[in-house]
Amino acid sequence: MRETRKRRKTPVAPWIYVVEALKWAAFAALIIMLILTKASTRPSKTGFDEVKAAVTKDADLDNTKESDMLLLKRFYSLDSSEYDGAVYYSPKTNMGAEELVLIRLKDAGQSEAVMEAYNARIRNQLSSFEGYGVDQTELLKNAVCDCAGNYCLLYVGARADKVQSAFRKAL
Amino acid sequence: MVFNSIYFLFVFLPIALVLYYVIPARLKNLLLVIISFLFYAWGSPKSVIFLLFASLFNYASGIEIEHLKISRHTDAAMKVLIASASANIVLLASFKYIFDDMPVGMSFFTFTVLSYLFDVYGERTGAQRNPVNFILYVSFFPKLLSGPIVQYADMEAQLTNRKADPDKLMDGGVLFLVGLGKKVLLADALGAGFALLGQAENSILGAWLMMIFYSLQLYFDFSGYSDMAIGLSKMFGFEFEKNFDYPYMSLTVSEFWRRWHISLGNWFKQYVYFPMGGSRVSDVLILRNLLVVWLLTGIWHGNTFCFVVWGLYHGAFVILERFVIKGRFDGFPKALRRLATCLIAGIGWIFFFSPTIPSALRVILSMFGGAAFATRTAVYVLRSYFILLVLSLIGCTPFGSFLWNRLFAENNIGLNEHVLAFIAVALRLGLLILCTASLLGSTYTSFLYFKF
């Protein structure tokens, strides 16, 4: 008898339906936030040459030269054929820290690897120049590593803020 | 915000501790919630909205499940559990695999709330009625970004009944400092060496060094983070189990996984392996259970095929040890067995750091003769980082801890107690100064496990 009583269902409290409604409202808010975030990081339709022109216009590239993609592979371990577009301005001499890399991604999932490669290069250059290349170290500490939509930019050089805003504006 | 920043060390943490120790006990949890949200908001303010809404969603789910179970609507409780757990997993999967814009720590957050929901449904514990206590459980800042994944049943009592005292503050501070040293002095330096190797053309020496550098970097990076998280928690009165126990000293792969990221292993054991029957079923079902756990472990870590291969690779060795090897190598010298386990784990890490399977296979091929013996970069890295490499290898063993205990805890050199205490404080202060100097002189480096 006692066992039967123990197993008997009792009515569900009405407030539980309010909790249920509020709970799914919170979940819906999360989904909306997710969609809005996605919308703000959608791929840019601006062409590669256009973005390249925008960032190189403000960048100080006097101490750099446009290099072939083998150097990008060597210094960044990035294979240009895996991307929709890439350009690399490398330092003219070993004493130069100025450089610029612009990559158009094939998909957003590549951004993490590109940012890792950018950061690794900056870390490596910093350890090379630390202690004797004061100007270079300063430039490297202010370097721009930025991914927005389907473009990733690395820039080491003067007017870094201006180059970054030109990059964002161009997308 | 991250633990390895000057601002955290010298502004955020001291203020948080002072406030925590001076305010009345009844306000301590609320203060920790505010501190945790500030900590999380620092790098990404919009993530705080996610944290708040996701916390409220799971808080409500817990109450609902408990109420339905108490009123004997077990089927309805199960439906709520499935719907709520699915919603959490869908959110995680959307961020991680579709939108590719995951707030830091979301994988850890999801496992934390799932632990709560499962514990409430399984009546391992009751639902948390106090929203502040619940939000503190899921958002406590030391464990928020990268674990350890503390199961609700293990933290529940501490949410309302814990003691923060000077001894815990000191012990926690020392553990935090050790973790900081692992991260700043070892992991980051090893990371620089690894980055250099990544730029070199492939060679046998380079490929071996890549594997060794990454294995060590990952260990010091993540175990350093875990030490810092557990140490910080202790400073606020919480006691959590260790997350690493010298994994590279393991004799088998199964043992390696009992010593590496222990809280994740326990989570899978408690909420996946045991509910499927664990080891108390037929061999075929054990095989299935192990494969499911290792597949999920791989998927949890990342959204590339490499992680799936990495998970199954480890699963294969665990299965081999259980069903084929069955302790046949127990008579072999321990050093040899440790070396073999390290090699298996190290080759596994190659899938971890490689963006694609072919690139991982290229590194493995190079290791075993598919390239020139050495390049200039590989030799340069070996020479430049040799001392660091030796120190790091020693750091993977309990030797440091053994030496410290012999000298300071057991006082085997017979020094005056006060002198000994002074030396211990001076050494720790020296470590703090070294870490600070290193942080000041370098740019910010993230933690490897943040991306998982």
Domain that holds residue A26: 2-40
Whether A71 and A136 map to the same domain: the answer is yes
- Ranges A34-48, A117-131, B124-138, B416-430, most confident: B124-138
pLDDT the model gives residue B317: 96
- With an 8 Å Cβ cutoff, is B75 touching chain A? no
Q: What is the mean pLDDT of residues A11-36?
A: 88
pLDDT the model gives residue B449: 66
Q: How far apart, in whole angstroms, are the C-alpha atoms of residue A90 and residue A92?
A: 6
- Mark yes or no for CB contact B87/A27 under 8 Å: yes
pLDDT the model gives residue A1: 42
Residue among B67, B72, B442 whose CB faces A7 most closely: B72
Whether A18 and A70 map to the same domain: the answer is no
Whether A14 and A91 map to the same domain: the answer is no
Blockwise average pLDDT, block size 10, chain B, 452 residues: 86 96 95 94 78 93 95 93 95 77 81 95 94 95 89 92 92 96 93 80 89 96 95 96 96 96 95 93 94 93 86 96 90 95 96 88 90 87 95 95 85 79 92 90 63 62
User: In chain A, which residues have their Cβ closer than 8 Å to the Cβ of B196?
Assistant: 124
Contact B452, B107 (CB under 8 A): yes
> What DSSP character marks residue A109?
G
- Mark yes or no for CB contact B56/A26 under 8 Å: yes
Nearest residue of B to residue A126, measured between CA atoms: B442
Nearest residue of B to residue A71, measured between CA atoms: B199
Whether A27 and A58 map to the same domain: the answer is no
pLDDT the model gives residue A148: 85
Whether A10 and A60 map to the same domain: the answer is no
pLDDT the model gives residue A134: 85
Q: How far apart, in whole angstroms, are the C-alpha atoms of residue B443 and residue B418?
A: 39
Q: How far apart, in whole angstroms, are the C-alpha atoms of residue A75 and residue A122?
A: 10
pLDDT the model gives residue B41: 85
Interface test with A, best of B84, B90, B352, B443 (most A CBs within 10 A): B443
Please give the tally of structural domains in chain B: 2
Q: How far is A46 from chain B (nearest CA, A)?
A: 21
- Ranges A60-64, A70-74, B443-447, most confident: A60-64
In a domain, B45, yes or no: yes
User: In chain A, which residues have their Cβ closer than 8 Å to the Cβ of B199?
Assistant: 74-77, 124
- Mark yes or no for CB contact B63/A122 under 8 Å: no
Residue among A20, A34, A37 whose CB faces B64 most closely: A20
- Mark yes or no for CB contact B195/A120 under 8 Å: yes
In a domain, B140, yes or no: yes
Residue B411: which region, alpha, beta or left (left: phi > 0; alpha: psi -120 to 50)?
left
Q: Which contiguous run of DSSP H or E holds residue B229?
A: helix B204-235
Whether A17 and A68 map to the same domain: the answer is no
- Mark yes or no for CB contact A12/B57 under 8 Å: no
In a domain, B302, yes or no: yes
pLDDT the model gives residue B267: 95
Q: How far is A161 from chain B (nearest CA, A)?
A: 18
Please give the tally of structural domains in chain A: 2
User: In chain A, which residues have their Cβ closer than 8 Å to the Cβ of B84?
Assistant: 23
Q: Count other C-beta atoms under 10 Å from residue B406's C-beta.
A: 12
In a domain, B348, yes or no: yes
Residue among B50, B191, B443 whose CB faces A122 most closely: B443
- Mark yes or no for CB contact A22/B68 under 8 Å: no
Contact B184, B435 (CB under 8 A): yes
Share of chain A above pLDDT 90, in %: 35
Of B389, B413, B428, the one marking the end of a domain is B389
pLDDT exceeds cutoff 60 at A3: no
Whether B107 and B191 map to the same domain: the answer is no
Residue A2: pLDDT band with limits 50, 70, 90: very low
User: In chain A, which residues have their Cβ closer than 8 Å to the Cβ of B94?
Assistant: 34
Whether B252 and B135 map to the same domain: the answer is no
Q: What is the mean pLDDT of residues A125-145?
A: 86
Whether A23 and A58 map to the same domain: the answer is no
Q: How far is B198 from chain A (nearest CA, A)?
A: 7
User: How many helices (H) does chain A have, and how many strands (E)?
Assistant: 7, 5
Q: How far apart, in whole angstroms, are the C-alpha atoms of residue A42 and residue A107?
A: 11
Active site residues of B: 301
Whether B154 and B103 map to the same domain: the answer is yes
In a domain, B14, yes or no: yes
pLDDT the model gives residue B450: 65
Count the helix, strand and coil residues of chain B and give each as a percent rounded to the nearest 5.
75, 0, 25
Whether A12 and A64 map to the same domain: the answer is no
Q: How far is A56 from chain B (nearest CA, A)?
A: 25
- With an 8 Å Cβ cutoff, is B106 touching chain A? no
Whether B194 and B121 map to the same domain: the answer is no
Nearest residue of B to residue A21, measured between CA atoms: B60
Q: How far is B248 from chain A (nearest CA, A)?
A: 26
CA B115 to each of CA A77, B101, B107, B119, B122: distance values in angstroms, whole numbers, following the listed order? 40, 24, 12, 6, 10
Contact A155, A128 (CB under 8 A): no
Interface test with A, best of B48, B101, B129, B352 (most A CBs within 10 A): B101
Residue among B57, B196, B303 whose CB faces A124 most closely: B196
Of B132, B162, B192, the one marking the end of a domain is B162
In a domain, B440, yes or no: no
Domain that holds residue B228: 184-389
ipTM above 0.95, yes or no: no
Q: What is the pTM for the complete model shown?
A: 0.79
In a domain, B402, yes or no: no
Whether A36 and A54 map to the same domain: the answer is no
For chain A, the residues whose C-beta falls within 8 A of a C-beta of chain B are: 7-13, 16, 19-20, 22-23, 26-27, 29-30, 33-34, 37-38, 41, 74-77, 108-109, 111-113, 119-124, 126-127, 130, 140-141
- Mark yes or no for CB contact B53/A27 under 8 Å: yes
Contact B84, B115 (CB under 8 A): no
Residue among B60, B95, B192 whose CB faces A127 most closely: B192
Residue among A10, A37, A77 whose CB faces B199 most closely: A77
Phi, psi values for residue A147, rounded to 5° = -120, 130
Contact B146, B447 (CB under 8 A): yes
pLDDT the model gives residue A31: 87
Angle ∠(B319,B325,B329) on CA atoms, nearest 5: 135
3-state class (DSSP) for residue B105:
coil
Single out the residue of A47, A41, A37, A163 nearest to residue A104, CA to CA: A47
- Ranges A110-114, A122-126, B23-27, most confident: B23-27
Whether B147 and B265 map to the same domain: the answer is no
Q: What is the mean pLDDT of residues A6-30?
A: 86
